[in-house]
Chains A and B, each alone.
Chain A
Amino acid sequence: MGNVLMQDEGIGVRAVEELECRFQIPPEVQVLDGGTTGMELFEPMRQCDCLIIADAINSPAAPGSLVRIANQEIRAFFQTKLSNHQLGLSDLLALLRLKGEAPNHIVIIGMVPKDLENRIGLSAEASAGLPAMVAMLRAELAELGVELAPRRQQGKGHWQRQADLELAACA
């Protein structure tokens, strides 16, 4: 989840894009760019057995730091109101619980953002942390018994290309 037009706000989208570019995704895994939508994610989320969310997360830790929050910790986390996206995401998770359709296992892999300006492209800190975030997502899937095999040819994702263009235009 995240807004790719606001730099590190879009780290979650950039991380899953990178995951898809570098690894083959088996059919039992669905990778989704949740963007800035809210209720639209209700339908895909209710169909999940396990839900892994990549997102930007506010925390006192240094920019680029990675955080893993799972299951029961998520509720406690929302009580402290730290995430920019808590409104949409916490509401969705609450509704899924109320409907009795919440995924069995929910994990948030979050990164502390550095820059949130209206610009495409990550800060140096977020870029430096991106490979580790992708590795965490891969490890999370491995925990669930899904080993991602590397792609033989690794492409460049759409938002990575856009960020490169923006960088070139500013130079």
Chain B
Amino acid sequence: MTTRITVDPITRIEGHLRIDVEVDEGKVTKAWSSGQMWRGIEKILVGRDPREAWTYTQRFCGVCTTVHAIVSVRAVENALQLEVPLNAQLIRNIIQTAHAIQDHIVHFYHLSAVDWVDVVSALDADPVAAAKLAESLSDWPLNGPHEMKATQERLKTFVGSGQLGPFASGFWGHPAMKLPPEVNLLAVAHYLQALDVQNHANKIVAILGGKTPHIQNVAVGGVSNSIGHDAPSVLNIERLMLIKNFIDKLEQFVKSTYLVDVPAIGAFYLDWTQIGNGVNNYLSVPDCPQDTQGRVFDLPGGYIDNGDLSTFKPITRFDDAYFRDGVAESSKHAWYEGDAALHPWQGSTEPQYTDFQDEGKYSWVKAPTFYGKRAEVGPLADVLVGVASGHKGYQKYLNQALGTMKAVSGLSEIPLTALESTIGRHAARAVRCAVMLDTLKDQWQRLVDNVGKDQDTFNAPVFPKGEIKGVGFHAAPRGTLSHWVVIEDAKIKNYQAVVPSTWNAGPRDADGQIGPYESALLDNPVADPHLPLEVLRTVHSFDPCIACAIHMFDNEQSEIIKVKAL
């Protein structure tokens, strides 16, 4: 067997994903997903005060930091069976939904649209025709011919300078690029507008969280925001109205642009509704608690087996035993000691590095299972669970997205199974973003209504002698996130995080079952092994929050190309 050594570039990006695929007759026949970085924060936490764990766990990642703060305090609160004041729940909910909206917008427009949009081709577009098309699909005010013309002019100067910046590694003219020039121009215009819009969401997080990335306002037992009507240094009416102003701006873009662009672009890539099908089992957790105990939620959770919505089984509470007892992680193919699938409370993180072994250990990411099965997490799982549970928002925006796709493609019917694909994951993310927007509005309104009669934001935790255990979960932008903590005499005894990219990017499990990334890559077409755009498309559809090094191998296992993508 050929030994392969990968030296990752020294960068400031938080961790690396390596994908190896074997290609035979233009299709992927084998795939390996490998996390190339040791996280290790779990070990740092052992022996520390559980009240400070969230400040460390936030550093798991440099992108989705807030999620690891909120879920960490939820884990400790779960262990203590501690009630959290309603204002604190609502403030956390606003932060997390605003963060999700920002994350989804940036993921589509700035991180993955260039997989589908040929930026250079936009120079050939007729700006008037592009505006006409845009205005037929949406009432977004920045779709007019002047806007399109101005975008094209700026793009011309930009491309003429020879400095393509973030577009420099694009696959211009690749045979898999299918959009007409007008749609490409429209996408470029929205790419630039999205830069402004995503910042509105960031500001909401910063106003409530103190700063972003790495919010400062959470605490075990609530949040540290003080609420007052008109005092200048607290959360007052002025701040709340500022947040509302940002929400309104976000709403217009998300519903009139993001939710329209993805299905419209998808309509030109219908073949990609047949590519990138993952493991077909879906796991999502409920979120946005509406009470102090975590038993009533705005967003549904549950599990769907083999893509069959009738198998939907709900998860309904923070202390739901169905979720708590179902999760296990295997290190058989990961660079840790042991190979049995262990429940996270029993989990260990002792490194055992072996180099990359095709049939052995090949990743720093463990392989999680839900009752012994691999499961995909993320917007696709959230949307399917949302629809299966009868959530009105998910149903409404899914119908809207499918309606746009039908109108642009001319197809009379698009089945729900089209979502279980590379392009479907993007559509699901746009649908989820619209749901998040309504949820954000709703949480804001409830906070405004509640602060008139109640200014409580914190319930002080008291730690008992002896051992207690807790789990906290959160429907994060990339999917189901859970932190598991064992506390003994008020100190952390064990801490394990099962993050969304663990579910999706994990290697083979204890039974040799492949994970969602690996499964989704099988049968992907690869038109030109030197420009593996198709592999990137499928990996990007999961929204990996890590720099991704794609290694292409031919049948003789000699490395023929190494492509670095973000």
- A binding-site residues for B, Cβ under 8 Å: 3, 36-37, 39-40, 42-43, 75, 78-79, 84-85, 87-88, 90-91, 93-95, 97-100, 116
Contact B11 A98 (CB under 8 A): no
Contact A36 B12 (CB under 8 A): yes
- Mark the stretch among B160-168, B453-461, B533-541, B548-556 that contacts chain A: B160-168
**Given A39-B110, A40-B213 in contact, is the A116-B164 Cβ separation under 8 Å?**
no
Chain B positions 168-220 with a Cβ under 8 Å from a chain A Cβ: 192, 195, 199, 202, 212-213
CA–CA, A37 to B63, complex, Å?
9
CA–CA, A63 to B124, complex, Å?
48
Known: A40-B212, A75-B163, A99-B195. 17 other contacts (CB 8 A): A37-B213, A39-B106, A40-B213, A43-B202, A79-B163, A85-B12, A87-B566, A88-B12, A90-B165, A91-B166, A94-B167, A97-B161, A98-B154, A98-B155, A98-B158, A98-B192, A116-B10
Contact A3 B12 (CB under 8 A): yes
CA–CA, A75 to B161, complex, Å?
9
Contact A42 B195 (CB under 8 A): yes
Contact B62 A94 (CB under 8 A): no
Contact B213 A94 (CB under 8 A): no
Does more than half of chain A's interface fall in helix, strand or loop, or is it mixed?
A: helix
Q: Choose from B11, B106, B163, B212 the contact partner of A94 (Cβ within 8 Å).
A: B163
- B binding-site residues for A, Cβ under 8 Å: 10-12, 62, 106, 110, 154-155, 158, 161, 163-167, 192, 195, 199, 202, 212-213, 566
Contact A95 B165 (CB under 8 A): yes
Q: Choose from B10, B154, B161, B199 the contact partner of A100 (Cβ within 8 Å).
A: B154
**Given A93-B165, A94-B158, A98-B165 in contact, is the A87-B11 Cβ separation under 8 Å?**
yes
Closest A residue, CB atoms, query B212: A40
CA–CA, A108 to B106, complex, Å?
28
The number of A-B residue pairs with CB atoms under 8 Å apart is: 52
Contact B213 A95 (CB under 8 A): no
Chain B nearest Cβ from A105, distance in angstroms = 18
* 6 residue pairs bridging A and B, Cβ less than 8 Å apart: A3-B12, A43-B202, A91-B165, A94-B166, A98-B155, A116-B10
A residues within 8 A CB of B213? 37, 40
B residues within 8 A CB of A40? 202, 212-213
Chain B nearest Cβ from A42, distance in angstroms = 6
CA–CA, A79 to B212, complex, Å?
32
Chain B nearest Cβ from A40, distance in angstroms = 7
A residues within 8 A CB of B11? 84, 87
Contact A94 B195 (CB under 8 A): no
B residues within 8 A CB of A39? 106, 110
CA–CA, A75 to B213, complex, Å?
29
CA–CA, A90 to B317, complex, Å?
46
A residues within 8 A CB of B158? 94, 97-98
B residues within 8 A CB of A3? 12
Chain A nearest Cβ from B213, distance in angstroms = 7
Kindly list the 4 A-B residue pairs having the minimum CB-CB distance in the complex, ordered from nearest.
Answer: A94-B165, A36-B12, A91-B166, A98-B158
Chain A nearest Cβ from B120, distance in angstroms = 13
Chain A nearest Cβ from B165, distance in angstroms = 2
Closest B residue, CB atoms, query A94: B165
CA–CA, A97 to B110, complex, Å?
16
